Amino acid sequence: MSETSDTQLNAKEHPDLYRKALRGGLWLMAERVTAQVLSFVRLLVLARLLPPREFGVLGIAMLLLQILETFTQTGFNAALVQRKEEDVGPFLNTAWTVNVLRGVVLFLIFVGAAPLAIQFFDGDGSFRPTDFHKPAELAAYLVRQDEPLAAHVMELLTDQQRQQIAAMAEGAVPVGQAQQQLSDLFNRLAETASLYQPEAFEQVSLSPYARQCVASMTAQTQRRTYRLLLEQAWPGWISRSILDRPQLLWIIRVVGIVLLFRAFSNPAKVYFTKALRFDKLFVLRTSATLVNVTVTVVLAFVVRNVWALVWGIVLSEMTSLVLSYVLQPWRPRFEWDRSRLGQMWRFGRWITGLSMLDFLLNTGDSVIVGRLLGASSLGLYQTALRLSELPIREFTSVIASVTFPAFCRIQTDIARLREAFLKSIDLTSVVVMPAVGGILIFADDIVGLFMQDSWQPMISTLRILAIFSLYRTLPVGALFQALGKPHYLTLVLATRVLFIGLLFYPLIQRYGLDGMAWTMGLSSLIVIVLGYWLMARVLHCSVRVILSRQAAQAAGVAAMMAVIGVIKWQFWAQMAYLRFFVLAASGCAIYLAVCLVLTPVFKTQWLAFVMEQWRQLKHLTALRASSFNSSEGQ
């Protein structure tokens, strides 16, 4: 009897859940599309106005904030979403109280530990081979001796070193060897007490901090000071790794306010997710994004430095705080219920461990780059990462946000859960795979046409990161958490962290930024292999079934890249805006055509899924219109 009742209940619940998930997905998609369009415009404008170093300086402050937040994550929000009961009101006051106490403590730690953190990320003054961009151009500039500093540096060199520079200028030395020779040469220069001569630097625009370092220079700080002077003299050829410590200290103090804004945010926002009311999340997030973009772009034109980025983030977080109480009438009060705290923590502790691993995977690479390669390299790496994931991570996050609560409701029905999961793979693959192919083909066009020349070193890094972002086509996190098995995801991510720890140092030492990209890429293969096996296990199906849902999309991407690649590099080699837009549109057409032809062959269901969504959308629109007309008639 109970089995029959459960079946009837599921049958009645499924259409309503599906409509809610669809409506929520549309709102989330609208929010993410709006956010990504605005963020992309913001990035293009700022990349024209600001060099990579400014992004890297803010990146260091944000990394410190993320470290504190991640390693003290409670996991309460996911725990409340995962609970089957709709009303989680009795838990909210305790959750809010913990968040406030945690936020205040983190703010004090964040500000107090700032000097130590700055010292960790600051460069020691040594030059590495990967610090030099376009070594032949730098060598030619030194040979010409067009300005006093170049002439002064050449005077300090031996005859053999001048011959090496001349060979580099003629292009007779391979790039890797030239970078190694320049690093050896400049490290010797940094030990030369006579490098700094006021008349040699008279045409160099030194910052107040650089002048302060010169005035207080000692034998212990000489190498760091000389590195700072040469960075500022030739920023187009030498990566900047020496931090302006007073400036960064103030940036950290201001960014720390974000911790307080997030701590006091309304915890009842969890109802937006539980009830699939993503229309309210759309208003909240889009408003904050608009504030961020507007403030950042306007200030970037005015101040032309990192403070434009800082105030954009702070004011957007303040907007989120205010709107969390405007959109949700529930008001918190201080309360400490140990029983409910324990219930949330039993699920949240796995989320906490998962968050730590997720940080090591998605942010730990930035910590490594900032520590080993400096602020400019960090700005290049984070921007390449953002561009490689721009159309990918946000789309998959929408799918995960919708599927997690939906999967939670059908977690006991494996057959329905399996079908829903396979449909989500269909949809993510049809978007993610061509996005990756497009980045591989057009990375040089994106950087060359829309950004400053100082961003050129990230082109190869961008391509490497894009290749291995394909693992995001698998929404494993939403699946494992919905089934109450977050430890499965923890196992997958822990394995990947282990491989990152083994690979990053030797690869960075040899390949610089590209080495970090290869580290993240090769380790992501672990996620793919282990993830497929675990998914097949919990869904009671074979790996071949999961792979078959991506076959048509993969073939479409291969055809697109082959045709567009030949046209671009063989018949239309000159970079131009017209070429970029024409080939991009042509690539989309080729991809869709191949997918449509091969969909019946591989029996993938992405097209049927899209048509199903369209029919449901029309049905929802008709229901709303009917309801509106009925209310008017009354």
Interatomic CA distance for residues 55 and 51, integer angstroms: 7
Distance, CA of 380 to CA of 470 (rounded, Å) = 21
pLDDT of residue 623: 56
- Residue pair 597/624 in contact by the 8 Å Cβ criterion: no
If we measure between CA atoms, which residue out of 591, 596, 42 comes closest to residue 583? 591
H-only helix segments in 199-337: 208-215, 222-233, 245-255, 257-263, 270-274, 278-303, 307-327
Amino acid (1-letter code) at residue 515: G
594-634 per-position pLDDT tens digit: 888 887 766 665 566 566 656 655 665 565 555 545 555 55
Name beta bridge partners: 238: 132
CB 420 within 8 A of CB 46: no
> How many CB atoms within 10 Å of residue 509?
13
List for the chain the helix, strand, coil content (%; round to 5): 80, 0, 20
pLDDT-flagged residues of the chain (< 70): 1-26, 28-29, 72-89, 273-277, 340-355, 357-358, 391-412, 471-479, 481-484, 486, 601-634
Provide the β-strand partners of residue 132: 238
Angle at 97 between CA 91 and CA 102, to 5 degrees: 125
Angle between helices 89-112 and 114-121 (to 10 degrees): 70
**HEC letters along 405-451:** HHHHHCCCCHHHHHHHHHHHHHHHHHHHHHHHHHHHHHHHHHHHHHC
- 419-467 pLDDT per residue, tens: 777 777 777 777 788 888 999 999 999 898 888 888 888 999 999 988 8
pTM (predicted TM-score): 0.77
Q: In 3-state terms, what secondary structure has residue 304?
A: coil
CB neighbour list of residue 510: distance below 8 Å, 6 or more residues apart? none
Please tell me whether residue 85 adopts helix, strand or coil conformation: coil
Quick one: 459 exposed, middle or buried, by C-beta within 10 A (0-12, 13-18, 19+)? middle
SS3 145: coil
Distances (CA, A) of 630 to 367, 616, 633, 634: 58, 21, 5, 6
Q: Which two structure tokens, joined as six digits, stand for 551?
A: 């076959």
Task: Give start and end residues of each alpha helix (H) in 328-413.
Answer: 338-362, 364-373, 375-389, 393-409
Per-residue pLDDT, 10: 41
In this structure, what token pair is assigned to residue 67? 């470290």
Give the amino acid at 496: R
Query: Is residue 122 a contact partner of residue 242, using CB atoms and an 8 Å limit?
Result: yes
pLDDT computed for residue 78 by the predictor: 63
Q: Number of C-alpha atoms within 13 angstroms, CB side, residue 59?
A: 28
Going by C-beta distance under 8 Å and a sequence separation of 6 or more, which residues neighbour residue 97? 332, 334, 335, 336
pLDDT in tens, 123-144: 888 898 888 888 999 999 999 9
What confidence score (pLDDT) does residue 85 get?
A: 58
Q: What is the rounded CA–CA span in Å between residue 405 and residue 273?
A: 7
Which whole-number Å values give the CA distances from 487 to 54, 356, 479, 541, in the listed order?
39, 13, 12, 20
CB 416 within 8 A of CB 479: no
Q: For 571, which DSSP code?
A: I
- Rounded to whole angstroms, the Cα distance separating 444 from 571 reads 17
Distance CA 511, CA 519 (A): 11
The distance in angstroms from the start CA to the end CA of the chain is 42
Whether 388 contacts 462, CB under 8 Å: yes
What's the CA gap between 308 and 455, in Å, rounded? 19
Taking the C-alpha atoms of residue 295 and residue 309, their distance in angstroms, rounded to an integer, is 8
Cα distance between residue 569 and residue 547, in whole Å: 32
Q: Tell me what pLDDT residue 11 has.
A: 35
pLDDT confidence of residue 409 = 62
Give the per-residue pLDDT at 572: 87
